[in-house]
Structure 1
Amino acid sequence: MGNICISVNNVPNPRNLAKRKRAPTKKVDVAIIGTDENGLKTINEYKVIKELGECSFGTVSIIVNADQNSFAMKTTQRKHFSNGPVQISSEVATLTRLHHPNVIKLYEVIDDIRHPEMFLIFEYAEDGPVMKLDEYGTALGGPLELARAKSYISQIVEGLVHLHKNNV
């Protein structure tokens, strides 16, 4: 549910996170779905730029808003939720309370019951994966440098600790 985010750049200390202001997750109950003049799919103020991949509950795409800020959008089919609205609202409530620099942030939920899908707008981790693997699971380009691997592992552990403290 919670996605871990690591950065190759300097990451703020989680203890200072409470001092930073973060807007609450925006909840929208109207989805206006269309196509722009260039043939790109639009959902409210967002344009779908590219599909990144599929997961068991839907697809993940790169989107941009009117200010050209990039986000990741997870499109989830409602039929995949066994308890329907109860399960959806429980998962969204969990995601909205996760505030940590190493956990991907949920910015907006577009939940229009007239549509079969729900749209979750997340922070986009533009640096992508820390390592690319071939079809056998072997690292392309060789192993990570030790210092970089330690930094990544430390950030992952910090994110996991935060998730566990929030019962995720």
Structure 2
Amino acid sequence: MEGGPAVCCQDPRAELVERVAAMDVAHLEETDGSPEPTRNCVDPSPRARAASVIPGGTPRCPAARPGLSARKFSLQERPAGSCLEAQAVPYATGPASHISPRVWRRPTIESHHVAISDAEDCVQLNQYKLQSEIGKGAYGVVRLAYNESEDRHYVSLGIDSLCRPPPRGSQAAQAGPAKQLLPLERVYQEIAILKKLDHVNVVKLIEVLDDPAEDNLYLVFDLLRKGPVMEVPCDKPFPEEQARLYLRDIILGLEYLHYQKIIHRDIKPSNLLLGDDGHVKIADFGVSNQFEGNDARLSSTAGTPAFMAPEAISESGQSFSGKALDVWATGVTLYCFVYGKCPFIDDFILALHRKIKNEAIVFPEE
């Protein structure tokens, strides 16, 4: 219509986005025109500021004023096909009042047929060449995996056959104790959580290879060659500016996890992997919890003792906030970044618990 608002997309969802954005613009024009305050006194990152620009130099939509799209719409949750299409850098998760509750993610591949053969210098697992062993997880061996068609390396975690229960319906499965299923249940819980996630500050599960006819289960992750961001204790902690940048990455990742209703429960430097881009990615969801509502109410302890919050080791028997646990562990992690050690240290668990519950945090003079 002549004189009407410009329409940059034909998708009806795009029209809805523009109408809401226009309403927000009208609301802003009623104010004194002062710039929007920064969140927690921290300027938006260059990536967040660039969120309202479509890659390739495409101009912004007419209704999307500078800063408006990044403030009103999560980068994960912008309606597909609209002029506010989801970007490749999902940093800001935003409030819970999004236009669409759906979150765009790269889906995890699930392969239910596994072909394994011995090659000359490796083991061929479907399209992956399993090469050198680079570590060991709680349930199996971690190997370097090469996908020749993509010319790209990944990490493959082979879940040990001892974790897999007997086939369903067998006498062994019916008569065996329930605790035999617990390790595999924990693995499947971690897989269910990882499949939900796609964020630049969270490790990405690429593929699950789970053949019922095979003993082993394989998980394929992005390769993060630099490994953990820090080993604690450390003789050379980070300068405060570097610690701040890493802390920002952790907070962005945690904000995303909590928005996805996931409590990590084991935030610590060794579970924070450094990507090739220098940014931290949260890993290891083996003790994580999913929740409903605004927060998880927990009553059991899990995670690493030196990073546990006082309420998690209290003997009161009262439930406690799951989100708060992650925030406390993030604070302990920041202390490690700056000082190279945990704020509370003891060789004995009970003595360590007493220190966490009763002693004040001491900041070294240096």
SS for the counterpart of 2:132 is strand
C-alpha distance in structure 1 between counterparts of 2:114 and 2:234, whole Å: 41
Match of 2:75, SS state, is helix
Out of 165, 188, 192, the position equivalent to 1:93 is: 192
1:128 aligns with one of 220, 227, 237: 227
Which residue does the alignment assign to 1:53? 135
- TM alignment of 1:65-80, pairs within 5 A: 65-66=147-148, 67-80=150-163
What is the RMSD computed on CA atoms of the aligned residues? Answer: 2.7
SS in 2 for 1:158: helix
1:86 is displaced (CA, Å) by 6.4
Structure 2: any 5+ residue segments left out of the alignment? 1-44, 52-73, 78-85, 88-103, 165-180, 263-288, 290-366
Which structure shows the bigger proportion of residues in helix conformation?
A: 2
Question: Within 2, Cα distance between the matches of 1:156 and 1:97?
Answer: 18
Q: Deviations over 1:94-147 (max 9, x none)?
A: 21111211111111110011111101111111222223x4xxx4325x111211
Q: Percent identity of the aligned residues?
A: 26
Tell me, yes or no, if the aligned pair for 2:134 and 2:143 is still in contact at 8 Å: yes
Aligned counterpart in structure 1 of residue 111 of structure 2, from 14, 28, 32: 28
Aligned length: 153
Find out whether 1:111 has 2:194 as its counterpart. Answer: no
Task: Pick closer, same or farther for the CA change 1:154–1:85 going to 2, 3 Å.
Answer: same
Larger % of strand: which?
Answer: 1
| TM-score, with length taken from structure 1 | 0.76
**Structure number with larger C-alpha Rg:** 2
- Which of structures 1 and 2 has the larger relative contact order (alpha carbons within 8 angstroms, sep 6+)? 1
Deviation for aligned residue 1:63: 0.9
